[in-house]
Amino acid sequence: MDDTVAQKIVVEKNSPRGTHFRRAGPRQKVYFESEEVHACIVTCGGLCPGLNTVIREIVCGLYHMYGVHKVLGIEGGYRGFYARNTIPLTPKVVNDIHKRGGTILGTSRGGQDTSKIVDSIQDRGINQVYIIGGDGTQKGASVIFEEIRRRGLKVAVAGIPKTIDNDIPIIDKSFGFDTAVEEAQRAISAGHIESESFENGIGLVKLMGRYSGFIAMYATLASRDVDCCLIPESPFYLEGPGGLFEFIEKRLKENGHMVIVIAEGAGQELVSESLRTTDQQDASGNKLLQDVGLCISQKIKDHFKRKKMVINLKYIDPTYMIRAVPSNASDNVYCTLLAQSVIHGTMAGYTGFIGGPVNGRHAYIPFHRVLVEKQNKVVITDRMWARLLSSTHQPSFMDHKDVMEDDTEKVGQTLQVNGKSHLGTTTAKARDTESIEEPSKPI
């Protein structure tokens, strides 16, 4: 299979066609013989619906499609390579794990000692490594891949991108996202019922989304009960004309109740300076965030107390409930496609890549491309955010200048063509220029 998948299918006039990736799928020839394959699977980072499904489908795919019988599960994330036991994985062992949330292998953040990990891979005779995790995990996978290549080992390293926030670049979406949006409906529904049942009731629901507001946006659109959605990409202010407080008061006077959805990364600048932890990070290098939901809840209460207006605010935080559930039907199918795609790639001898859908077609994306791209974020000048504003009837909380600056930043992003950066405004001749990003081979 020599088909390629374009990173961008909608391009502006006279702009480059851009980058293509090798399409995923089975090849006519395989690099590894079935009996010589010794594979391992590791899960890292936070929980996400579908982790067990991906594990199951890698094991079953290797066993049933390629006759591979030696698969190890690495317990406890990256440090499990050298600090924990391993679990032999067979189709019988993983038969019904897709019905459970979490990961049967356990997980952790950080703890990566590249030299020790590769030593363990070498000592155990492992020649296929499947790494399931988010952007931090895939950065680690890239380092492991480079160390394996430096040592000249014939080991294939493949990543399965995982983030419930849906913020991994290039791919259409990450597994677990659909389940998270579906599960978020329960929390929004509870907030709606609570707000309807009390005088001037406000249901405030905090959803996951450290740097991107996809869960909040899609859950809001799916619910149709939400009056205001606040995400990191769209700054908002509280006081004064056009502020959040004014909108809340207006909506309460109109309807007698309202529901607000806020992503965890939104409004961090509004958290009191004494509470902010701007320089603190977790083991994965993510900035530690304060609970913006609690902060905004208190500020809303204080504001209406000063105005002597009675409100009844209920704050709901379903974060860990959402990410700990089993994956739904849509995500189960998606996890199967992801697992089988990376299996076909590693068996063909590709290495140093992640698998994922690009414009609806699964492709092999080299690690280095994922690392240099910006995180996937909601673009507030795009149509989906406009649809949300139409649904909630909320103001944008931004002036025209702010919106245009966001749009300019989007248009001004550079395009990678044949390994070089080109601005979005290029000559017509450059339009026919394209590059194919190939995953690496073990040798």
> Is 179 annotated as contributing to ligand binding?
no
> Is 258 annotated as contributing to ligand binding?
no
> Is 210 annotated as contributing to ligand binding?
yes
> Is 165 annotated as contributing to ligand binding?
yes
What letter does residue 428 receive in the DSSP assignment?
G
> Is 135 annotated as contributing to ligand binding?
yes
What letter does residue 281 receive in the DSSP assignment?
B
> Is 136 annotated as contributing to ligand binding?
yes
> Is 316 annotated as contributing to ligand binding?
no
Q: Assess contact for 285 and 111: CB atoms under 8 A.
A: no
> Is 1 annotated as contributing to ligand binding?
no
- Given the residues 165, 167, 178, 227, select the one marked as catalytic: 165
State the DSSP string of 44-87.
-SS--TTHHHHHHHHHHHHHHHH----EEEETTSTTHHHHS-EE
What letter does residue 416 receive in the DSSP assignment?
E
Q: Assess contact for 262 and 216: CB atoms under 8 A.
A: yes
> Is 171 annotated as contributing to ligand binding?
no
Amino acid 206 reads K
Enumerate residues 6+ apart whose C-beta is below 8 A from 429: none
Q: How many CB atoms neighbour CB 215 within 10 A? A: 24
> Is 191 annotated as contributing to ligand binding?
no
> Is 404 annotated as contributing to ligand binding?
no
> Is 77 annotated as contributing to ligand binding?
no
Residue tagged 């409004």 (tokens):
267
Q: Assess contact for 201 and 257: CB atoms under 8 A.
A: yes
> Is 106 annotated as contributing to ligand binding?
no
Beta bridge partners of 5: 21
At 207 the three-state DSSP class reads strand
> Is 134 annotated as contributing to ligand binding?
yes
Q: Assess contact for 397 and 244: CB atoms under 8 A.
A: yes
Residue 165: active-site member: yes
Beta bridge partners of 71: 39
At 386 the three-state DSSP class reads helix
CA-derived radius of gyration, the chain = 24
- Nearest-angstrom CA–CA distance, 159 and 252: 48
Q: Which residue positions form the known binding site for substrate?
A: 163-165, 208-210, 264, 320-323
Q: Which residue positions form the known binding site?
A: 46, 109-110, 134-137, 163-165, 208-210, 264, 320-323
User: What are the catalytic residues?
Assistant: 165
Q: Which residue positions form the known binding site for ATP?
A: 46, 109-110, 134-137
Q: Which residue positions form the known binding site for Mg(2+)?
A: 135
